[in-house]
Structure 1
Amino acid sequence: MDGKLPFRERLETEARALGFVAFGVARADAAPRTAERLRAWLDAGAHGDMIWMETTADRRGSPAGLWPEVRSVISLGMSYAPTIDPLALTDEKEVGRISVYAQGGDYHDIVKKALKHLARWLVAGSPCALKVFVDTAPVMEKPLAEAAGLGWQGKHTNLVSRADGSWLFLGAIYTTLELEPDSPHSARCGSCSRCLDACPTGAFPAPFQLDARRCISYLTIEHKGPIPHEFREAMGNRIYGCDDCLAVCPWNRFADTARRNQAFVPRAELVAPALADLLALDDAGFRQVFAGSPIKRIGRDRMVRNAAIAAGNSGSGTLVEPLRKLVDDADPAVAEAAQWAIGKLTEIRSSRA
C-alpha cells in the first residue's frame, strides 16, 4: 500500500484485506450512556443467569473502565449474511433450527485471528499499546460500533448495518493511539416494529429493550437447568439460538451475501440436523459433531435438553422412543425435558384420535 496515504486509510485497507467488511473508529469516551443503560438493565434482572454481566459491570460500562490508557476504539465487523431464509425450516418439525451465526466456523477463533493480524500491522506502523476483543471480554461492542459509525442498535438491540443488515460479527481493538474518529451512526428504524412483533416469547418489553430471560437465544444457550414451561411451545424446533427478530428486519434486503466471510459458510450437518440424531448424542458424539463450532461451548446436556423440547413440539410419534431412552439421563434437565416431551407427544396423539 502506498505509504503516502494517511495512516488511518492504510489501516482500514489492511482491515478489509483481512476480511472485515465494516470498519470505524470511536473515541474511548464516545458512548457515555453505556454504563447507565447497562446498570438499569442489570437492576431489572433482565440478564438472568448471566452473572458475569453483573460482576464485570464496572469494567464493561466504558472502555476506560476496562483499560484506563485507551484513547481510541477501532470497531470492526465480519459478515455472515445467509444466502437462504433463516426462517425456512420453521415448519420442518423433525429437524432442529440452529441460528445462522453458529452454522459455520467459530467466530471467536476466526475474528480474533484477523484482529491479531491487524494489531501486529498497527503496532509495526505506529508503535502503541493495544488490546483485542471478541465477544468474551467485558466490552460493549454494539454501542461502540454505533459510535464508530458501523450501524445502529435497532429496536431488537442488535446492530443493524445499511450495507450488511443484521449479520455482522463484531470485534474491537483498544489502542493508546489518538486516531481520527468517525461520526456515530443515527438510528434508521423509523416506525418499523417487525422485529418486536416477530419475537415468539415477547422478549422485548419496549423498543430498544431486551429481557434476556424471555429470549430463546438466552434460553437455549446461556440458561442452565430446565427451561421454564411457559416458553417451551414457543421454542418450536429452535435448538440453538433464534434468528426471528433479525430475519424480519427490512434492512436485510440490502445485505450483500457476497461480502460473507467464507469461513462462515454453513456446514451441511448443521443446517438441518435431525432431532432423532441429536437425541442420541453422548458427550463424545457431541464433541465430534460440533468441533470447530461455537455450539461446542454449551455442551452435550444443554443441546440434548433443547432437542428434547423441540421433539415434544414436533408432533412426531417416531421421536417417542429416542426420548424414552433419556428419561433416566444423568443430567436432570435432560431427563425432565424428555419426560415433558413424551407427555406432550402423547397429548397430541390423544387429541388426534
Structure 2
Amino acid sequence: MISQQPYFPPVPDHLAELFHAEGLGLMGIAPAVPPAGSEHDDDYRTWLERGFHGSMAYLQRHAHGKYHPEAMLPGCRSILIAGLNYYQHAPERPAGAGRIARYAWGRDYHKTLGKRLLRIRRRLEERFPDHGFRNFTDATPLAERYFAEQAGIGFQGRNTLLISGQYGSWFVLGEILTTMELSVSSPSAAAGQFGNRHGACPRSCTKCIDVCPTGALYAPHRIDASRCISYLTIEHSGSIPVELRRGMRDWLFGCDLCQEVCPLNVRRQVTGESDFLQARAGDHLDLTELLAMESDKDFLQRFAGSPVMRAGRIGMMRNACVVAANTGAHELLPRLRQLADGTARYSADPAERAMIAEHAAWAVSELMSETSRH
C-alpha cells in the first residue's frame, strides 16, 4: 500500500499571496543553513572524485557552493523554494521518431518559472529595500533538492528526485535567496524533520533502479550522472561511450524511465501550464528531420524557446544516429551513410564532422548487423 498525500507547507500569508498570484501553489521556506557537520560536503566531493559528474566540469569548479547559499548571496538567511508541475500523458510514438523527456515538450521551464520568480523577487525588493534577493531556476551549484526537502516541498526518493504528495516527481524547482530571516515553513523545518508528510518510497521497491538501462542508478539514492541518459543526450558534448549507446533506447533528449515506473507517481496530475502544453519540441521528434538539418539557423528556427536548444544541433544529430540504430530505422541508412563517409553537408567544423561520422558509422554497422541476423 502506498502512503501518500498532498502536503503544502505553511508560509506567511504575504509571501503565499505573491507566489499564488504567479500560479505557484507548491512552495516553502528553508533556512539557509548548511547541513550540520561535513558529511554532505564530503559525500559530494567523493562523488566528484569518482567522476560521477562526467564532463560537467562546472560542478567541480563550484563545489564549494553546493550546500552553502551564502556563496550565491552573501548574508543569505532564507530560501524561498517553489515547484511547478509539468506532467502530461505520453501518446504513442510513431515509427522513425525518438522520445523527448516530458519537461522539454513545451517552452523552456527556465524561462517560464524564471520569469515568475523574477517578478516575485522585484516585488519583494520594492517591499523590503534593505534586503538582498536573488532568484534562480536550476542555474546554480546549490543542492536544490536538499533545501527543498528542508522547506517541506517533498522528499528525495531512491531515484534521487524530489517527490511531492501532490505532483509525484513531475515538477521543476526554482528559488529566491534572501538576506531576510523568514519564518520557516514549519516549526520543525530548522531541523529538517518533515518526516514522510509527502509519503515515502515503499520499503522494498527498487523499480527505478531496475528500469535504468545504463546502470546510472547504481544504488538507492545514488546516481552516476556520467551514465544517465539525460546527461548523455543533453549535457555531454562528446562521443557517447559505445557500451552505453544501446541503453539509450529511443531517447533523443532526456529520459523519464525512473519516473514512469515510480509507484509514487500514481497520483500525477496533468499540468495546466499553457507554456508546457503548447508543444515546441513535442513528445517526439522525427529522426529524418534532425539528420537533415544543415545549419544552426535551421535548428534555431525549429526549436527556439525549447529546452532542446541545450543539446544543440550537433548533439541532437549525434543522438538521432544512436536512436536510429536502436529503433531499427533502416529507412535512414542512405542518410546515415552520407554522414558516415563525410559527403553530407551540415558542418565545416572537423571535430563536429568526426563525431557525427563516428556515430553514423556505428549506426550503419548496427543496422546492417541486425539485417544479417534476420
Query: TM-score surpassing 0.5?
Result: yes
SS of structure 2 residue aligned to 1:254:
coil
- Residue in 2 that maps onto 1:274: 286
Q: Report deviation, 1:249.
A: 1.2
Structure 2 residue 145 is the aligned partner of structure 1 residue 136: no
AA of the residue aligned to 1:82: Q
Q: Distance in 1 between matches of 2:82 and 2:148?
A: 8
CA displacement at 1:59 relative to structure 2: 2.0
1:21 deviates by 2.8
Q: Please tell me whether residue 83 in structure 1 is matched to residue 89 in structure 2.
A: yes
Q: For this pair of structures, how many residues does the alignment match?
A: 342
Residue of structure 2 aligned with 1:69, choices 60, 65, 75: 75
Counterpart secondary structure, 2:218: coil
Match of 2:369?
347
How far has the Cα of 1:30 moved from its partner?
5.7
- Alpha-carbon RMSD: 1.9
* Alignment pair present for 1:217 and 2:230: yes
What is the letter of the counterpart of residue 23 of structure 1? M
CA distances 1:61-105 after superposition (whole Å, capped 9, x unpaired): 3112333300000011111011337xx54xx55211011111110
Distance in 2 between the 1:142 and 1:37 partners?
Answer: 15
Report deviation, 1:269.
Answer: 5.1
The letter for the 2-side match of 1:248 is V
Q: 1:28 to 1:159 in 2, by over 3 A?
A: same
| Counterpart-to-counterpart distance in 2, 1:35 and 1:144 | 14
Give the TM-score normalised by structure 2.
0.87
Aligned to 2:169: 166
Unaligned runs of 5+ in 1: 1-5
Q: Which amino acid aligns with 1:279?
A: L
**Given the superposition, is the C-alpha separation of residues 16 and 83 from structure 1 closer, same or farther in structure 2, using an over 3 Å criterion?**
farther
In 2, Cα distance between equivalents of 1:99 and 1:310: 14
Partner of 1:3: none
Give the structure 2 partner of residue 335 of structure 1.
357
Aligned match of 1:29:
33
Secondary structure of 2:135's match?
strand
Amino acid at match of 1:340: W
Q: Which amino acid aligns with 1:105?
A: R
**Which position in structure 2 is the counterpart of 1:305?**
318
Conserved? CA contact 1:96–1:239, under 8 Å: yes
Query: What is residue 108 of structure 1 aligned with on the other side?
Result: 110
Under a length normalisation based on structure 1, what TM-score does the superposition of the two structures give?
0.92
Q: Which moved more, 1:32-41 or 1:204-213?
A: 32-41
Which amino acid is the alignment partner of residue 332 of structure 2? L
Residues 290-309 of structure 1: CA distance to partner in whole angstroms, max 9, x if unpaired?
A: 11101112211110000001
* Offset from partner CA, 1:199-251 (integer Å, 9 cap, x none): 11111121001001111111111112211111111111111111000111112
Please give the alpha-carbon distance, in whole angstroms, between the structure 2 residues aligned to 1:49 and 1:172. 26
Superposed displacement of residue 281, structure 1: 1.4
Q: What's 1:251 paired with? A: 264
CA contact (8 A) 2:52 2:223 kept: yes
**CA–CA separation in structure 2 for the residues paired with 1:80 and 1:294:** 13
Does the Cα contact within 8 Å between 2:11 and 2:183 map onto a contact in 1? no
Measure how far apart 1:268 and its partner are: 6.5
What residue number does 1:179 align with? 182
Q: Secondary structure at the match of 1:16?
A: helix
CA distance in 2: counterparts of 1:309 and 1:80, whole angstroms = 27
3-state secondary structure, aligned to 1:178: coil
Question: What is the CA distance between 1:267 and its match in structure 2?
Answer: 0.9
The AA in structure 2 aligned to 1:278 is L
Q: Which secondary structure does the structure 1 equivalent of 2:259 belong to? A: helix
Whole-angstrom distance in 1 between the partners of 2:35 and 2:293: 44
2:21 corresponds to: 17
Asked if 1 retains the 8 angstrom alpha-carbon contact of 2:76 and 2:177, the reply is yes
Match of 2:5 in 1: none
Taking the aligned partners of 2:17 and 2:269, their CA distance within structure 1 comes to 19
> Does the CA-based 8 Å contact 1:309-1:337 persist in structure 2?
yes
SS of structure 1 residue aligned to 2:175: strand
1:316 matched to 2:329? The reply is yes
Query: Aligned partners of 1:11 and 1:247: how far apart in 2?
Result: 33
> Which residue of 1 is the match for residue 124 of structure 2?
122
CA contact (8 A) 2:330 2:367 kept: yes
Q: Which residue of 1 aligns with 2:297?
A: 284
Q: Is the 8 A contact 1:162 1:255 kept in 2?
A: no
Residue 59 of structure 1 is aligned with which of 62, 65, 81? Answer: 65
Percentage identity across paired residues of the two chains: 38
Query: Secondary structure of 2:202's partner?
Result: coil
Conserved? CA contact 2:11–2:184, under 8 Å: no
Secondary structure in structure 1 of the residue aligned to 2:83: strand
Tell me whether 142-151 or 247-256 shows the greater mean CA deviation.
247-256
CA distance in 2, matches of 1:303, 1:200: 20
Given that residues 66 and 143 in structure 2 are in contact (C-alpha distance below 8 angstroms), is that contact kept between their aligned partners in structure 1?
yes
Contact kept? 1:30, 1:147, Cα under 8 Å: no
Q: State the 1:115 CA deviation.
A: 0.5
